[in-house]
């Protein structure tokens, strides 16, 4: 039975939403979470992630607060490095071309560490990202790219831990409950219209946190805002993120902001389903491209695969792949780097070609001009410099004289066996959304907070433009989810947020 009233209502049940619910509950108020999906598909996009969080840390001792199970042996063979506030600011500035909202960015970076510790105290367990963010060189693992920590169990483990914490804190979660519209008047939010169990009802509340994701699962909105061709992209995550939270906010006067024509989009298996599959999770992604080359249907390279660590390029290269003829590419590797390929390359549901000669391989690349592909590979091999290869750093092993350079990790494609993987564009989340202030209050088109309305997660605009540093999405959701919940809970308790 759907409650008829609650002090705080959260729309969504992913990372940002559940952090908001937990923070609101700390104020001793009643909290209701509305999850549009059935229980078996709950958690929004968070459940489809690998669970990585980009956060500030000062070294191994700092990380041990989050991961107390780290053993002395693990610490002795690992260089975790550091990730300072300045590094986080620099990475966000660089990849967003310095368009990120400075006030929101300041909060994201400076509260990342404390928010992670708060999540740990709530029962979320973390682990080092051994398999995807560190390679063993000279007997020692070295983490790279500013990304070190993930939730135990990945996205599903994160959602399960937060859901368990919510239940322990007497938070009600209603599944299959679709928020339809906000009820608001001149004094602010008064309730929500909800469709649940085949019936439409109104839940009375004066405090709503919208954390219902972006509009990536809405093909019509993708085409309207991202541009022609985006209706052809695969959706990496949940089918339920169709922009309803954004629409509800705009309907009551919220100010749209951010990069509405931008999104997080990656290389995704060419034959993956149209929406995410929880039995596969994020394993349709193919992110080891820095160690090989990518060819389009014309048999040509079209992007610098080694421009930077994959953390800083993968979220924008999906768009580049979508713009290629027939919206696909093949990633090609030789035997020298096959051991470096991430686990996602070894799943059963993969579009793959393998051969013992390059001549044989190009004939197996479905949809590709084989003659041009062979010529491209030979020209690439001849252009590779001979600096030492090191996957843990930007090693400067580059090409010379090519129209499309490769700046790092330029390994020749000459040692059999050869493997190739077909990818298309997989959209993760959209960058445009509603404007919030530093208390996560939704701001109106008049520039004033809408009383009782808060937002967090993917549906907030203003932080990400053009690109995104890996692991920042979950961190963003947690930081501003916690702030939104605290603001809503404080107002429900009698504060002025």
Give the integer Cα–Cα distance in Å for 277 and 333: 26
- pLDDT at res. 131: 77
Spans of all domains in the chain: 8-214+435-493, 265-425
Confidence of residue 495 (pLDDT cuts 50, 70, 90): low
| pLDDT tens by residue, 402-444 | 999 999 999 999 999 999 999 999 999 999 999 999 999 999 9
Tens-digit pLDDT profile for residues 113-165: 999 999 999 999 999 998 788 888 788 888 988 999 999 999 999 999 999 99
Q: Do 300 and 376 touch, CB atoms closer than 8 A? A: yes
Look up the CATH superfamily of 8-214+435-493.
FAD/NAD(P)-binding domain (3.50.50.60)
Mind listing the pLDDT tens digit for each residue in 273-311? 999 999 999 999 999 999 999 999 999 999 999 999 999
Between strands 234-235 and 31-35, the pairing is unpaired
- The C-alpha atoms of residue 147 and residue 95 are separated, in whole angstroms, by 15
Task: State residue 273's pLDDT score.
Answer: 97
**CA dist., res. 382 & res. 376, Å (int):** 10
Q: Are 106 and 99 in contact (CB under 8 A)?
A: no
Angle at 215 between CA 213 and CA 218, to 5 degrees: 135
| CA dist 55 → 131, 150, 372, 481, 490 (Å) | 18, 10, 44, 15, 26
Instruction: Inform me whether the pLDDT recorded for 497 exceeds 70.
Output: no
Predicted local distance difference test score (pLDDT) of residue 28? 98
Determine if the pTM surpasses 0.85. Answer: yes
Alpha helices in 265-336 (DSSP H): 314-322
Q: How do residues 347-384 score in pLDDT, each as one tens digit?
A: 999 999 999 999 999 999 999 999 999 999 999 999 99
Dist. CA 171–CA 163, nearest whole Å? 9
Query: What percent of the chain lies above the pLDDT cut of 70?
Result: 99
d(CA 486, CA 31): 12
Out of 3.40.50.300, 3.30.360.10, 1.20.59.10, 3.90.700.10, select the CATH number for domain 265-425. Answer: 3.90.700.10
Q: Quote the Cα angle for 371-372-377, to 5°.
A: 100
pLDDT at 144: 86
Per DSSP, which regions of 129-232 are E strands? Answer: 134-137, 140-143, 149-151, 172-175, 177-185, 188-196, 199-204, 208-210
Confidence of residue 175 (pLDDT cuts 50, 70, 90): very high
């Amino acid at each position: 039975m759907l409650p008829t009233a609650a002090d705080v209502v959260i729309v969504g049940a992913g990372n940002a939403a559940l952090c908001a619910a937990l923070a609101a509950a700390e104020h001793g108020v009643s909290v209701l979470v509305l999850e549009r999906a059935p229980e078996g598909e709950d958690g929004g996009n968070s459940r489809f992630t690998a669970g990585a969080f980009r956060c500030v840390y000062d070294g191994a001792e700092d990380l041990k607060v989050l991961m107390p199970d780290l053993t002395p042996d693990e610490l002795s063979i690992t260089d975790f490095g550091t990730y300072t506030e300045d590094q986080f600011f620099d990475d966000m500035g660089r990849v967003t071309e310095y368009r990120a909202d400075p006030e929101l960015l300041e909060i994201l970076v400076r509260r990342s560490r404390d928010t992670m510790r708060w999540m740990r105290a709530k029962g979320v367990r973390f682990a080092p990202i051994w398999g995807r963010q560190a390679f063993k060189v000279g007997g020692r693992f070295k983490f790279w790219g500013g990304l070190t920590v993930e939730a135990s169990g990945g996205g599903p483990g994160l959602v399960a831990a937060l859901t368990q914490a919510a239940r322990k804190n007497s938070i009600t979660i209603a599944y299959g409950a679709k928020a339809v519209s906000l009820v608001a008047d001149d004094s602010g939010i008064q309730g929500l219209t909800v469709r649940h169990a085949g019936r439409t009802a109104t839940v009375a509340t004066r405090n709503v946190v919208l954390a219902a994701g972006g509009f990536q699962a809405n093909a019509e909105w993708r085409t309207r805002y991202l541009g022609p061709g985006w209706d052809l992209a695969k959706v990496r995550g949940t089918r339920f993120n169709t922009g309803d939270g954004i629409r509800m906010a705009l309907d009551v006067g919220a100010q749209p902001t951010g990069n509405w024509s931008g999104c997080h989009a990656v290389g995704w298996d060419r034959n993956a389903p149209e929406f995410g599959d929880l039995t596969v999770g994020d394993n349709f992604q193919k992110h080891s491209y820095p160690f090989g080359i990518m060819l389009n249907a014309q048999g040509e390279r079209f992007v610098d695969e080694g421009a930077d660590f994959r953390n800083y390029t993968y979220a924008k290269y999906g768009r580049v792949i979508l713009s290629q003829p027939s919206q696909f590419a093949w990633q090609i590797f030789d035997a020298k780097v096959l051991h470096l390929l991430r686990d996602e390359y070894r799943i059963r549901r993969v579009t793959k070609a393998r051969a013992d000669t390059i001549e044989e391989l190009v004939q197996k690349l479905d949809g590709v001009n084989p003659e041009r592909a062979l010529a491209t590979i030979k020209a690439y091999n001849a252009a590779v410099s001979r600096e030492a290869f090191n996957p843990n750093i930007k090693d400067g092993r580059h090409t010379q004289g090519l129209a499309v350079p490769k700046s790092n990790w330029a390994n020749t494609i000459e040692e059999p066996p050869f493997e190739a993987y077909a990818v298309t564009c997989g959209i993760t989340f959209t960058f445009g959304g509603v404007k919030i202030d530093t208390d996560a209050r939704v701001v109106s088109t008049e520039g004033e907070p809408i009383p009782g309305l808060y937002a967090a997660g993917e549906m907030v605009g203003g932080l990400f433009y053009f690109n995104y540093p890996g692991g920042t999405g979950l961190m963003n959701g947690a930081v501003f989810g916690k702030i939104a919940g605290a603001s809503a809970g404080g107002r429900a308790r009698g504060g002025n947020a």
